[in-house]
């Protein structure tokens, strides 16, 4: 009898291990998605009230500079609340990048469809990201290429939904104007205004605001301080759109 008990015990232990592994994987699949949702919701909720000291893109720029051996690299970043930034800059950003910003819920499906048809013809790739999507990417994600770009796109959609659900439009624009890159290592309206025009962001003119918006497709290639033909043409077009939208009343978000 004693020998039989000894024989049966190893079998009992052998079957308990797979069961434990199954429970572990079940816990992982159940709780990791919930943890992700909770973490991201808290992230976005906190930043509705707390001004971001850095963004994911800023951290990436530091890493890039250090990787190039530039240990003395420093960003220019100086936060200003919305009432310390000329209303002409949000108007220029909307006119240049996302004219449906005041009314959409984070995605401009009409622009997406137009971009799809345009790109299907083999022309130069055109994007359709809204200001909310670009903010989500800048704050939390990475640039990426290949498969990592598609992974980022999925996360970008999720963060965009959260931002639009939790933040008012005024906060989205305030953060966006403060964290996007207007020149190599120059982030936000105040730093850009001081660097390129020698004045505070509150004093930007329509032409200056349009120039800052005009360089956003590639702020390391184009200059707001010394605009070339492309930036000059785009700046004039943005100013026409600013007038067509009805002026700063169009961006008087609540």
* Residue 187 shares a structural domain with residue 136: yes
Same domain for 63 and 43? no
Shared domain for 63 and 189, answered yes or no, is yes
pTM for this entry: 0.85
User: Is residue 110 domain-shared with residue 225, that is, in the same domain?
Assistant: yes
Q: Identify whether residues 90 and 144 lie together within a single domain.
A: yes
Mark whether 235 and 207 lie in a shared domain. yes
Q: Does residue 88 sit in the same domain as residue 21? A: no
Q: Measured between alpha carbons, how far is residue 65 from residues 59, 75, 83, 232, 239 in Å?
A: 10, 10, 33, 29, 34
Q: Is 68 found in the same domain as 30?
A: no
pLDDT tens, residue by residue, 212-242 = 999 998 999 999 999 999 999 999 999 999 9
Residues 152 and 121 in one domain: yes
CATH value at residue 169:
1.10.3810.10
Does 89 share its domain with 66? yes
Q: Which sign, positive or negative, has the C-alpha torsion 216, 222, 225, 227?
A: negative
Number of domains in the chain: 2
Domain identity same for 18 and 79: no
Q: What is the pLDDT along the chain (254 residues), one digit of tens a residue?
A: 445 444 445 544 544 555 556 676 777 777 888 999 999 999 999 999 999 999 999 999 999 999 999 888 999 999 999 999 999 999 999 999 999 999 999 988 887 777 666 565 655 555 678 999 999 999 999 887 777 777 888 999 999 999 999 999 999 999 999 999 999 999 999 999 999 999 999 999 999 999 999 999 899 999 999 999 999 999 999 999 999 999 999 999 86
Q: Verify that 181 and 101 share a domain, yes or no.
A: yes
> Which residues fall within 8 angstroms of residue 237, CB to CB, at 6 or more apart?
none
Give me the domain span that covers residue 37. 1-47
């Amino acid at each position: 009898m004693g020998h039989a008990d000894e024989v049966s015990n190893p079998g009992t232990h052998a079957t308990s291990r797979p069961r434990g592994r199954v429970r572990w994987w079940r816990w992982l699949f159940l709780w990791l998605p919930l943890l992700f949702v909770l973490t991201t919701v808290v992230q976005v909720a906190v930043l509705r009230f707390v001004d971001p000291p850095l963004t994911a893109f800023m951290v990436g720029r530091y890493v890039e500079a250090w990787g190039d051996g530039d240990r003395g690299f420093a960003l220019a970043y100086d936060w200003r609340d919305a009432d310390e930034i000329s209303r002409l800059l949000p108007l220029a950003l909307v006119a240049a990048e996302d004219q449906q910003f005041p009314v959409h819920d984070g995605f401009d499906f009409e622009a997406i469809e137009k971009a799809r048809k345009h790109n299907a013809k083999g022309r130069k790739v055109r994007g359709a990201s809204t200001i909310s999507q670009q903010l989500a990417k800048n704050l939390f994600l990475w640039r990426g290429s290949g498969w990592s770009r598609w992974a980022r796109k999925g996360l970008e959609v999720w963060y965009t939904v959260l931002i639009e659900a939790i933040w008012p439009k005024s906060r989205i624009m305030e953060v966006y104007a403060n964290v996007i890159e207007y020149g190599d290592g120059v982030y936000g309206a105040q730093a850009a205004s001081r660097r390129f025009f020698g004045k505070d962001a509150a004093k930007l003119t329509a032409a200056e605001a349009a120039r800052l918006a005009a360089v956003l497709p590639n702020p390391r290639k184009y200059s707001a301080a010394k605009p070339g033909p492309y930036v000059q043409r785009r700046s004039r077009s943005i100013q026409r759109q600013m007038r067509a939208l009805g002026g700063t009343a169009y961006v008087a978000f609540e």
